[in-house]
Amino acid sequence: MKSSTKIGSSIQSVVLGISMLLSTSLLSACGGDIHQETPDTPASFAVSHAMSTCFWQGPYGTSPADTNIAYPDSGATYWSAVFKVPTGTRVFLKGQFPYSRYISYNSYRTDNSPASALTDYQITPDAGSTNPFVDGAIRYAPARNYAVEVVPTAQAGAAAPNTLYADSDFGQTITIWYRVYAADKGADTTGGVGLPDLQVQQPDGTILTGAQACNVLSPAQTTLPGPVLPPATYSALRDQPGKPAGFPGVNPAVWMAQYNSQYGLGCMFLGKCGGTPVRQVAYFANLDNAYVTALISRAYGPVVVLHGRIPVTPKTFNNVARMTSGQIRYWSMCTNEFYTQKGTSCLYDEQVPTDANGNYTIVVSRDADRPVNATTACGRGFLTWSDAGDGAGHTDDGLLIMRNMLPAADFTNAIQNTKTPGDESAVIGPYLPDVSYTTKAAFEAQGCK
């Protein structure tokens, strides 16, 4: 992909931008809904983009062909790059902004916790291009090029524009992940634009691309393994003698904000839930997200019912013409296998039936136990509970993960605003779902909404 834009493409971009602005003004004047505009489908949607390169490994996600590790969200697709930067070498990633809800780059420490992030709205586009993730931006502007630099060291002072800091050093192993959330209808999981291209600038100023650039960095050519616990360690935590049926889940379920791995394991399995833990979530977490989790168990019932409220988010899936803001950028609820860290099933905000206030009902069960009225047509969302349970032989176990992404400063109920263990309900309020257990027959007796 070329970093410069030809004159003809620039003119086309300007003309299209003016055209869309005029149509938006006319719709607004007539009381129309600007979010119902449907732009022409980009030609790139018909292209079969590579899902991995000599630099990018993946994809990670929940689709059968994906590598399923580290509690992925089925609304997102992820790619990793593990490499070393020789002294004096500069690393650039040149791409096109995807047709999607969100993208970001995160760098990671050796414990798999995020070191820094560079998020879509922070990236200045190339001259003549548009960043479609800025509030009010034209999402289908044809010129959408950008370039970012990956710096091996930690940030010192103010961040340089379009720069991801790896919090490592030259010659040391660097791990970064690239994420695309909620690709638009008709786009592939790259958001219809393919993966960012690698460019390396050598100390003498020589620019290398493609395989030559990869040869300089020697990136890993396999996906990362899941950061699972050693089996003996997990067994010692999970299989403690004298624990009640349903352990480590409790009834009613308890939502826990995620802080760090040591605290999380101690709270879930040893009851050590106090103190003021540091928020440094591992498992290749996203710095733009905050998470709450709840352990569930079929020992309390085969069907779990969640009642809660989804914050206001932008609507983008149906090829919406302009980017809007909301209380948060993205929300999701997922079921997972605790031990293997596999994602089983997820719903993100636009996929969940809600009332006018954002209130929802989501049913969680094995597919065999799914109530016939746990459908969108009946006003309910549905999540599959893995038949494998935790993935380590405890088939009744389940794990729920709820995500909040990039909350607005005035949205006080965001998960990001939790500060100490136990404050989840007070902070998140009606956006923290109630969890109850029932049976297939009892839920079916409620009929449709």
- pLDDT score at 113: 94
Do the bridges between strand 397-405 and strand 381-384 make them parallel or antiparallel, or are there none, so unpaired? unpaired
Question: What pLDDT is attached to residue 227?
Answer: 87
10 Å CB burial of residue 22 (0-12, 13-18, 19+) is: exposed
Give all strands of the β-sheet with 173-183 in edge-to-edge order.
Answer: 57-60, 76-84, 173-183, 100-108, 114-119
The candidate with the shortest Cα–Cα distance to 88, out of 248, 232, 200, 245, is: 200
Give residue-wise pLDDT tens across range 326-364. 999 999 999 999 999 999 999 999 999 999 999 999 999
* Domains, the chain, with CATH or none: 40-217 (2.60.40), 231-444 (no CATH)
**pTM for this entry:** 0.91
What pLDDT does residue 346 have?
A: 99
Arithmetic mean of pLDDT, 377-386: 99
Query: Phi/psi at 427 (nearest 5 deg)?
Result: -80, -50
> Is the pLDDT confidence value at 2 over 50?
no
- Local structure of 443: helix, strand or coil: helix
- In angstroms, the CA 213 to CA 190 distance is 22
Q: pLDDT value at position 3?
A: 39
**What is the CA angle 187-58-213, rounded to 5?**
100
Question: Over 80: is that where the pLDDT of 25 sits?
Answer: no
pLDDT tens-digit series, residues 366-375: 999 999 999 9
